Amino acid sequence: MKVPVVLKIAALAVATTSFYTYIGQLVPQKEVHPPVEILISKEMGPEEMRRVGRLVMDGKGLCFTCHTMGKKGPLRFPDLEGIGSRAGERIPGLSDVEYLAQSIYEPEKFIVPGFNPGMPVINKPPIGLTDDEILAVIAYLQSLGGTPTVTMQTQLPGQAPGRAGSEGATGGGTSP
Amino acid sequence: MMKKITLAIFAALAAFALTVAIATLLLKREYRAPIAAAKATTEATPRDVGLADQAAEQAKRDQEKPYVEAEYRPFPKVGSRVAIWVVAQLHLLFAAFVLAVPLFALIIEFIGYRTKDKRYDRLAHEFTKLLSVSFSLTGTFGAFLTFMLVILYPKFTSYLVSVFSLTFLPYVLLFFAEAFFLYTYYYGWGKFSPRVHLLLGLGLNIVGTAIMLIANSWLTFMTSPAGVSEQGALINVWDAVTNFTWMPINVHRIIANVAFGGSVAAAYAAYKFLQADNDEDRAHYDWMGYIGNFVAICAFLPLPFAGYWLAKEIYAYSQTMGLQMMGGAFSWLFIIQAVLIGNLFLAANYYLWLGMGRVEGAQQFQKYIKYLLILVAVCFAVWATPRSIISTVSEVRAMGGSSHPALGFLGVMSAKNTAVNILILTTYLSFLLYRRTGKTPVVRWAKAGNRAQLAIFLVAAAIVLFLGVYGYFVEARVRIAFSVPQVLSVLLAMVSVTVIDIFMFKGARSTGEARWGKIPAISQYVLIFIAVSFTWLMGLMGYVRSGLRQHWHVYGVMRDTSVDAFTPTLGFATQVVSVTVLIFFLLIAFVFWLASLGGRKDWEEASPGTSADTHPEASPS
């Protein structure tokens, strides 16, 4: 029996699309959902801030899309391992908290030598971390090779002024 | 025959009358209060009172209902996102076809005008036969998409309208102009002087491109918004139009449209070739398929370079978005893309190798095919090698990570850039060999010319390989910059080798004529495979372009808060792409069928005598 040409062409089209669909099923299947908002309490202590900071960096902050932890070799963006110990020495006159805050609120102001600019302003959309989330992130970053000194009351340079109960980044008992 | 039709009409009318009668009977059986006395003199029953109260309460509620602006409306079964996705993709595929065909039809017509070769004119005319129905389908899907957006995503659509309101009127006017140029170009074939007709074709292309540029501004704004405040208020409409990804998308789309249009036109020729019942038609459609595929491959070769530029601009706009694309949620999509592009290159080369059989004296070149095949296969394998491998815990331990200790090196950008550039050079070499079949250069410097071409090829390949390997030893920012000299060396090689070839084969001695139509039937299925693969690739890349926004309608400006505000799995995305591609081919088959109706003989009612001749049982003998 001779198969009509139209049927052969239809079979080829279906087979080709089926093949590509099959390839699509072979790769890892992951649904990416919008970041989950984490409730942040003003009463959090350093340990809780550190834990929440890590969660924010993993999720809403999208930090590990670019940054790595403990990776060596040619990197696209600075590795964050040990950042807590070197943050205070990056820019003369800036404490570690101030430096980290500047990297987040005004990332173009200082580019780590050897890297290209590219970090977005983290408190603006599309990432849009809140001031409290940023404080938690800084606590986590400080803990990478150092001790968190930032508190939920710390007033960071770049933050919206007049946050209730805030104190200066270098002032009070929370300065590094 | 007439009796049967009359009977069928009567049966249909009877069925309709029966249905009406049943419906009327059922409605009459609705509950009614018993008639005991005239309505005016009896008191209402408790049921009547209850019903009246209910109706009054409902009327009161209706009047008090506040107007609430809907943000989203659901679409049954598949959901709003998939519905919009399919309709938008179908609209884009037809639009791409309608924009591409006039581009190369005009060029072919111009070649025919300059060379006075009527075959080119006929070919260009045949390509445009596919246009009119496709244009109607593009418009229909465009209107469908607009209604779907207004119905399903009213708030988002209203925002886009507020930003781009100034662009809508020019868009509509250009659409009228396109209709004018398209139909005059098609129906005016042979009715005007060649120059006027060519000008009509030029007008059609200019207007079509302008329409595309406007539509591109809307969709690129969604990915890389500009000209608006942080809250999304419009500051400058021109900045919104000329946003970061606008021009790269324009260039990428024009090239991709030509490649896509060429491949679909070649598929039409293949379909006609396979249906042909004489050598003349087979020769014509073989030639048409060859030209269509030639157009597709010529556009396909620079397409990866346009893709690089687009990716570069996405990175420049937002590193986060760029990294999501190449290293995050969408990184595996590029492995699927590699499989598709590898298949397209393999198929394109295979078609050229099969085509060499048309020409006498092709044997001297056919011996190189096996080496070219090895090169294409190796490059394909490198390009499709992922950086990390899906593996079990024990396998990860054995490998010392998610990357294979040896193959993992092939999964990075250095290897992939190298593979794709060598793949392009190899395909170009296949084309060059095909071009030379049946010809011998007669110029005195032919030997030197051949050597120069070989040297150019080797130098370009060496630059690509050297930078590819060196990329493993330098910082990321240096490595990324290597792609530019790699691309430039390949482009330069293709241009310079072509220039040498054109001059070298000017007035070349013919050693064998091309026997159009004398090609295995499988070559035509290869053309159809290329068209389906290319359409599928467009669907996949459309998904990634749109999906990059993730949970944003307008990236960083307007968030998607609908139930679909998540990025689906790649498996699901490929299913939607496949369904869309199959619907497209079903519709394009309709276009092909309509286009081929013009070649049929006019219908004539059979005369009684003819009827007797064709029905032996009716014959008096």
Specify the pLDDT at position B37: 55
Domain assignment present for residue B494? The answer is: yes
Average pLDDT over residues B378-382: 91
Name the minimum distance, in Å, from the CA of A98 to any CA of chain B: 24
Give CA–CA dist A88/A91, Å, rounded.
7
Extract the tokens encoding B69: 């602006």
Are the beta carbons of B255 and B303 closer than 8 angstroms? yes
- Whether residues B84 and B116 fall in one domain: yes
B256-311 pLDDT tens trace: 999 999 999 999 999 999 999 999 999 999 999 999 999 998 898 888 889 888 98
Name the minimum distance, in Å, from the CA of B164 to any CA of chain A: 22
Answer with the one of B488, B510, B532 that is the final residue of a domain.
Answer: B510
Name the minimum distance, in Å, from the CA of A18 to any CA of chain B: 7
Give CA–CA dist A136/B394, Å, rounded.
36
Domain assignment present for residue B396? The answer is: no
> What is the DSSP track for chain A?
-PPPHHHHHHHHHHHHHHHHHHHHHHS----BPPPPPPP--TT--HHHHHHHHHHHHHTTT-GGGT-BSS--SS-SS-B-TTHHHHGGGSSTT--HHHHHHHHHH-TTS---TT----PPPTTSTTT---HHHHHHHHHHHHHTTS-----TTEEPTTSPS--TT-EESSSGGG--
Task: Identify the weakest region by mean pLDDT among A47-56, B37-46, B400-409, B489-498.
Answer: B37-46
Q: Does residue A33 sit at the B interface (CB-CB below 8 Å)?
A: yes
Specify the pLDDT at position B153: 97
Q: Is the pLDDT of residue B525 over 50?
A: yes
Q: Is the pLDDT of residue A112 over 60?
A: yes
Instruction: Give residue A173's pLDDT band: very low, low, confident or very high (50, 70, 90).
Output: very low
Name the minimum distance, in Å, from the CA of A62 to any CA of chain B: 8
Q: At what angle do helices B279-300 and B118-128 cross, to 10 degrees?
A: 70
Q: What is the 3-state secondary structure (H, E, C) of B479-514?
A: HHHHHHHHHHHHHHHHHHHHHHHHHHCCCCEECCCE
Domain assignment present for residue B542? The answer is: yes
Domain assignment present for residue B7? The answer is: no
Helix ranges, B65-153 (H): 80-115, 118-128, 131-152
Average pLDDT over residues B84-88: 97
Instruction: Give residue B39's pLDDT band: very low, low, confident or very high (50, 70, 90).
Output: low
Name the minimum distance, in Å, from the CA of B565 to any CA of chain A: 7
Specify the pLDDT at position B247: 97
Query: What is the overall mean pLDDT for chain B?
Result: 89
B568 vs A17, A28, A31: nearest CB: A31
- Whether residues B303 and B367 fall in one domain: no
Q: At what angle do helices B333-355 and A5-26 cross, to 10 degrees?
A: 150
- Whether residues B462 and B566 fall in one domain: no
Instruction: Give residue B327's pLDDT band: very low, low, confident or very high (50, 70, 90).
Output: confident
Domain assignment present for residue B478? The answer is: yes
Nearest 10 degrees: Cα torsion B359, B365, B367, B369: -90
Extract the tokens encoding A8: 């052969």
Q: Where are the domains of chain A?
A: 46-174
CB within 8 Å of chain A, chain B residues 220-259: 230
Q: Does residue A112 sit at the B interface (CB-CB below 8 Å)?
A: no
Instruction: Give residue B396's pLDDT band: very low, low, confident or very high (50, 70, 90).
Output: low
Extract the tokens encoding B249: 């998308």
Residue with tokens 């409605």: B27
Which residues of chain A have a CB within 8 Å of the CB of B562? Answer: none
Contacts of A145 (CB under 8 A, 6+ apart): A81, A82, A83, A84, A85, A86
- Whether residues B81 and B197 fall in one domain: yes
Domain assignment present for residue B45? The answer is: no
Q: Does residue B546 sit at the A interface (CB-CB below 8 Å)?
A: no
Average pLDDT over residues B33-61: 79
| A13 contacts B271? CB cut-off 8 A | no
- Whether residues B333 and B377 fall in one domain: no
Write down the CATH number for the domain with range A46-174. 1.10.760.10
Buried b (16+ CB within 10 A) or exposed e, B320-347: bbbbbbeebbbbbbbbbbbbbbbbbbbb
Give CA–CA dist B205/B12, Å, rounded.
50
Specify the pLDDT at position A170: 44
Q: Is the pLDDT of residue B614 over 60?
A: no
Instruction: Give residue A172's pLDDT band: very low, low, confident or very high (50, 70, 90).
Output: very low
Query: What is the overall mean pLDDT for chain A?
Result: 87
In Å, how far are A107, A138, A149 from A173, measured between CA atoms?
27, 16, 8
Specify the pLDDT at position A39: 87
Average pLDDT over residues B416-424: 90
**Number of domains making up chain B:** 2
Specify the pLDDT at position B548: 92
Specify the pLDDT at position B552: 95
ipTM for the complex shown: 0.83
Specify the pLDDT at position B25: 75
Give CA–CA dist B72/A25, Å, rounded.
30
Buried b (16+ CB within 10 A) or exposed e, B610-619: eeeeeeeeee
Instruction: Give residue B619's pLDDT band: very low, low, confident or very high (50, 70, 90).
Output: very low
- Whether residues B123 and B169 fall in one domain: yes
Q: Is the pLDDT of residue A171 over 70?
A: no
Average pLDDT over residues B140-159: 97
Name the residue in chain A with its Cα closest to that of B270.
A9
Give CA–CA dist A7/B23, Å, rounded.
44
Which residues of chain B have a CB within 8 Å of the CB of A67? Answer: none
Are the beta carbons of B528 and A9 closer than 8 angstroms? yes
Q: E-strand spans in B409-503?
A: 439-440
pTM of the model: 0.83
Specify the pLDDT at position B44: 80
Instruction: Give residue A25's pLDDT band: very low, low, confident or very high (50, 70, 90).
Output: very high
Instruction: Give residue B608's pLDDT band: very low, low, confident or very high (50, 70, 90).
Output: low
B258-272 pLDDT tens trace: 999 999 999 999 999
Answer with the one of B510, B540, B556 that is the final residue of a domain.
Answer: B510
The one-letter code for the residue type at A144 is L
Bigger pLDDT: B34 vs B367: B367
Contacts of B504 (CB under 8 A, 6+ apart): B441, B443, B445, B446, B449, B450
Instruction: Give residue B574's pLDDT band: very low, low, confident or very high (50, 70, 90).
Output: very high
Domain assignment present for residue B551? The answer is: yes
Specify the pLDDT at position B399: 66
- Whether residues B83 and B187 fall in one domain: yes
Contacts of B467 (CB under 8 A, 6+ apart): B418, B482, B485, B486
Q: Does residue B567 sit at the A interface (CB-CB below 8 Å)?
A: yes
Tell me which residue of B107, B121, B97, B495 sits closest to B258, measured CA to CA: B97
Specify the pLDDT at position B248: 96
Q: How many CB atoms lie within 10 A of CB B57?
A: 10
Instruction: Give residue B384's pLDDT band: very low, low, confident or very high (50, 70, 90).
Output: confident
Q: Is the pLDDT of residue B526 over 70?
A: yes
Are the beta carbons of A53 and A45 closer than 8 angstroms? no
Range(s) of the domain holding residue B290 = 69-337+521-597
| A66 contacts B571? CB cut-off 8 A | no
- Whether residues B333 and B269 fall in one domain: yes
Specify the pLDDT at position B410: 82
- Whether residues B327 and B469 fall in one domain: no
Contacts of B474 (CB under 8 A, 6+ apart): A74, B482
Percentage with pLDDT > 70 across chain B: 91
Q: Is the pLDDT of residue B513 over 90?
A: no
Q: Is the pLDDT of residue B602 over 90?
A: no
Domain assignment present for residue B527? The answer is: yes
- Which H or E element spans position B554? strand B552-554
A94-103 pLDDT tens trace: 999 999 999 9
Burial class (CB in 10 A: 0-12, 13-18, 19+), B413: middle
- Whether residues B500 and B531 fall in one domain: no
Are the beta carbons of B227 and B235 closer than 8 angstroms? yes
Q: At what angle do helices B80-115 and B246-275 cross, to 10 degrees?
A: 70
Instruction: Give residue B166's pLDDT band: very low, low, confident or very high (50, 70, 90).
Output: very high
| B323 contacts A65? CB cut-off 8 A | yes
- Whether residues B495 and B575 fall in one domain: no
